[in-house]
Amino acid sequence: AQSVTQPDARVTVSEGASLQLRCKYSSSVTPYLFWYVQYPRQGLQLLLKYYSGDPVVQGVNGFEAEFSKSNSSFHLRKASVHWSDSAVYFCAVTDNYAQGLTFGLGTRVSVFP
Amino acid sequence: EAAVTQSPRNKVAVTGGKVTLSCNQTNNHNNMYWYRQDTGHGLRLIHYSYGAGSTEKGDIPDGYKASRPSQENFSLILELATPSQTSVYFCASGANAEQFFGPGTRLTVL
């Protein structure tokens, strides 16, 4: 069975500051890893995904994530946040993407001017 | 134009009633999924499908049925709705390790 832990339920940052969201996963094999973003009253949108190769993956809107097999982690980063980055961010994992994803509980990010 | 649409967007049902949530995708993806989102639980997989005629149980299938009559359509059926099924339901279609989500259906069971 797979699981995902996002230890921070809420994060507050100032506009222009850097952001890191943590994600730890548990899987018996190297899984597919994802970060999704959910804006208010909308569905989820994919930010980036990882399966193999360079452990640092680039996503949309300046986001990137770094995979660490030794730490079972897939942390999300952004160098300089904008107020429009305020949203809920979900980390997800699967070892068979045809069979659906297992999501973390999400981290709510609030960006203040 | 939205590739995954859901209807209705909001639904109020009575306990013991039958509820059908519909999902349509124009991505021509083989795989489709139903999740529910609840505070404290994130998103959880209810049912998924590999293609027309296929339905598979996800992590929390009890109390739900699914139907995939065509490539484009995937329905979630609550035969006897209960208040514990009050939630926001998301449909998604997927291919190549990417899933594309619909806008969600907010279901309230009274």
Q: What is the mean pLDDT of residues B30-38?
A: 96
Q: Cβ of A49 and B97 within 8 Å?
A: yes
* pLDDT confidence of residue A64: 98
Mean pLDDT of the B29-34 span: 96
CA A31 to chain centroid: 14
> What are the two backbone dihedrals, phi and then psi, of residue B57, each rounded to the nearest 5 degrees?
-80, 135
* Residue of chain B minimizing CA distance to A91: B42
Paired strand residues for B17: none
CB-based burial label for A45 (10 Å; 0-12, 13-18, 19+): middle
Which pLDDT score, from 0 to 100, does residue A73 have?
96
DSSP letter at A17 equals S
| Share above pLDDT 70 across residues of chain B, in percent, rounded to a whole number | 98
Nearest to B99 among A101, A105, A106 (CB): A101
Per-residue pLDDT reduced to its tens digit, A41-97: 888 999 999 998 999 999 999 999 999 999 999 999 999 999 999 999 999 999 888
List the domain boundaries for chain A: 3-112
* Predicted confidence (pLDDT) at residue B1 exceeds the cutoff of 70: no
Q: Which residues in chain A have their CB less than 8 angstroms from residue B48's CB?
A: 98-100
CB pairs under 8 A between A and B: 56
Q: Give domain limits for chain B.
A: 4-109
pLDDT tens-digit series, residues A5-38 = 999 999 999 999 999 999 999 987 888 999 999 9
B8-12 average pLDDT score: 97
List the single residue in A with minimal CA-CA distance to B51. A98
CATH tag, A3-112: 2.60.40.10
Min mean pLDDT across A59-63, A67-71, B25-29, B93-97 is at: B93-97
**What DSSP element (H or E) covers A11?**
strand A10-14
Q: B77 — phi, psi (to 5°)?
A: -120, 130
Range in A72-76, B34-38, B96-100 the model is least confident about: B96-100
d(C-alpha A49, C-alpha B32), whole Å: 19
Q: What is the pLDDT of residues B38-71, one digit of tens each?
A: 988 889 999 999 999 999 999 999 999 999 999 9
Cα distance between residue A79 and residue A30, in whole Å: 27
CATH code of B4-109, in short, is: 2.60.40.10
The residue of chain B with its CA nearest to that of A101 is: B45
Average pLDDT for B64-79? 98
Contact B42 A106 (CB under 8 A): yes
The pLDDT, as a whole number, for residue B2 is 61
